[in-house]
Amino acid sequence: MIYVSQAHLPISYVQLNFSIQHTEFNSALAYLKPETHQGLQSSALRIMSQRQLQRGTLNMGRATFINEIEALGTEIQLTHRGYAHSLGAVALTRTLPRLIKLFHDALTKPSLDKEELEQSKRAYISELEARYDDDQSLAWLWLLRRLHQDHPLWADYCIEAKHITVLSTDHIRQAWPFIFNRKCFLPSFTSDATQDTLAHLIDPLYNDLNINSGESQFQACRLPSLAKLSKSTLTLVNKPGKQQALLFIAHPTIAPTHPQALALYVALCALGGTFSAPLMQEIRVKRGLSYGAHAGIKGEAHSRYVCLHCSPEAPQATQALLVMLQVYQRGGRGELSDTEINFAKSYLINAHPFSIETPAMRAGLSANACLMGLDPKLLLTQADRIKKLSIDEIRQAAQDLLASQGLEILVFGDQKQIGTQLINELQSILPLEQVLRLEAKDEPTKALTRRSLND
């Protein structure tokens, strides 16, 4: 259990987390009869199962269940990440016994009502449609699809309505023990109540959770690193009529436990993590190509990637992309200045306290680290560890880990406005293995298709 004391404030933050065991969960699909397996998709099944937590229990219908929660002055918070599902709420400490009992029933006695599932499916399909209608979200989805080929998180970025409509209560009932079981369970509390009191409250739930595979000790989600890119690829995603382009330069990177991980984090901040960093200066201040430009490390747990991105007007996409690439390559050559590195160090050291300023933030950070199989100290002591990094260590990390592999370059926008010169200009400074041409609303599996530069 994650516990952070919050004395003298009678409010408790409750987060009941369940790590995702991707391999084991995917094997759960094999338990379904072959004729019902067609069209099933693991991520859709997991997410729709989690959404049934707020759809009532065997003891009470959805309306009564929600009323009971709201009577405590709170509301359910459902969170899904690639490494965990979470059920949480913020409540007065004196109401915790009732809140935990309601969560207990939701997790161990879900109603899994057919009509409630149908309503939930319609709601989620509407959310997906809205997500795919948003150009910013869609552009990021295409990037994630390209980077996560042959990775457990691939399916998370490819959910479509057809994957939702095929689901039944039988599917969810059979999948439930693989999602919400004892070995995946990690409760997190921020409270003025003692840890012993909270442990006593949560014990009945822990005891009633399914013991899957005969194991009960907590196991973190172990996501593999993204596959390294041997060569560079350009992906052109066409969205006719879009005035603005979205540009990405990305590649998989090292795990947060790697000896150079923190130094690379600082190096990317020096390269493009602040307004005064070279990327923003070259893209916005000197040339006015985009309102913003950013470089950093993104991703979940060990599945991380370096990413530079900006959003110029479509006719200026070629110029902006070339400038981004030049800044990136400058970092890879070890050309970050002492001033740029020292400023990034100072910025990150001063910003760190704001990420852990409240007990609830510290509890959340610790829980997420544990769910990903990381030591929370890696994050809690980040500022002190940055102080100890030398300029040479940071510069060397950039030189070792940037431009050391192929790149995924993705250009989202109206390709007619962007023009064909982009490929020729890009090839003059970066060898391209292949180009992939897509339409914005293509099937997600098209991200796996490669075409030659001459197609």
Residues 138-149 have pLDDT tens digits of 999 999 999 998
Q: What is the reported pTM?
A: 0.91
Cβ neighbours of 161 (radius 10 Å): 16
Domain closes at, from 184, 214, 244: 214
Residue 223 lies in a domain: no
User: Are 308 and 436 in a shared domain?
Assistant: yes
In a domain, 380, yes or no: yes
Co-location of 351 and 442 in the same domain = yes
Residue whose token pair is 């300023």: 357
**Given the DSSP bridges, would you call strands 11-19 and 185-191 parallel, antiparallel or unpaired?**
antiparallel
Instruction: Tell whether 295 and 402 lie within a shared domain.
Output: yes
Domain membership of residue 455 (yes or no) is: no
Residues 207 and 298 grouped into a single domain: no
State the pLDDT at residue 216: 67
Task: Tell me: do 146 and 240 sit in the same domain.
Answer: no
Tell me if 221 is assigned to some domain: no
Domain ends where: 214, 240, 260?
214
Which residues, in sequence order, are CB contacts of 215 under 8 Å at separation 6+? 182, 183
Task: Tell me whether residue 222 is in a domain.
Answer: no
How many domains does the chain fold into?
A: 2
Query: Residue range 256-263: average pLDDT?
Result: 94
pLDDT tier, 454 (very low <50, low <70, confident <90, very high otherwise): very low
Query: Could you give the CA distance from residue 397 to residue 378 in angstroms, rounded to a whole number?
Result: 18
Residue 282: which CATH number? 3.30.830.10
Tokens of 304: 């991380």
* Angstrom distance (rounded) from CA 211 to CA 108: 12
What is the predicted pLDDT for the residue at 451?
43
Give yes or no for a contact between 287 and 280, defined as CB atoms under 8 angstroms apart: no
User: In this structure, how many other beta carbons lie within 10 angstroms of the beta carbon of residue 63?
Assistant: 9
The verdict on residue 270 lying in a domain is yes
Mean pLDDT value of segment 250-270: 95
* Co-location of 50 and 172 in the same domain: yes
Residue 353 confidence (pLDDT) above 90? yes
Contact 14, 90 (CB under 8 A): yes
Q: Which tens digit of pLDDT belongs to each residue from 52-107?
A: 999 999 999 999 999 999 999 999 999 999 999 999 999 999 999 999 999 999 99
User: Are 33 and 159 found together in one domain?
Assistant: yes
* Contact criterion met (CB below 8 Å) for 434 and 453: yes
Asked if 248 and 387 sit in the same domain, the reply is yes
Residue with structure tokens 């004892």? 182
What does the alpha-carbon distance between residue 423 and residue 416 come to, in Å, rounded to a whole number?
13
Q: What is the pLDDT of residue 150?
A: 86
Give the per-residue pLDDT at 35. 44
**198 in the same domain as 276:** no
54's tokens: 């707020």
Q: Is residue 368 part of a domain?
A: yes
- Mean pLDDT is lowest, of 210-214, 224-228, 424-428, for 210-214
How many angstroms separate the CA atoms of 129 and 411, rounded? 22
Token pair recorded at residue 423: 């490929």
* 101 and 180 fall within a common domain: yes
The 10s digit of each residue's pLDDT in 442-452 is: 988 888 765 43
User: E strands of 181-310, at which residues?
Assistant: 185-191, 232-238, 246-252, 293-300, 303-310
Q: What are 188-218's pLDDT values in tens digits? A: 999 999 999 999 999 999 999 987 655 668 9
**Secondary structure element (H or E) that encloses residue 409, with its range:** strand 408-413
Q: Tell me, yes or no, whether 266 and 131 share the same domain.
A: no
Residue 219 lies in a domain: no
- pLDDT band, residue 34 (cuts 50/70/90): very low
Which structural domain, as residue segments, surrounds residue 8?
2-214
Residues 210 and 353 in one domain: no
Strands 185-191 and 303-310, by their bridges, are: unpaired
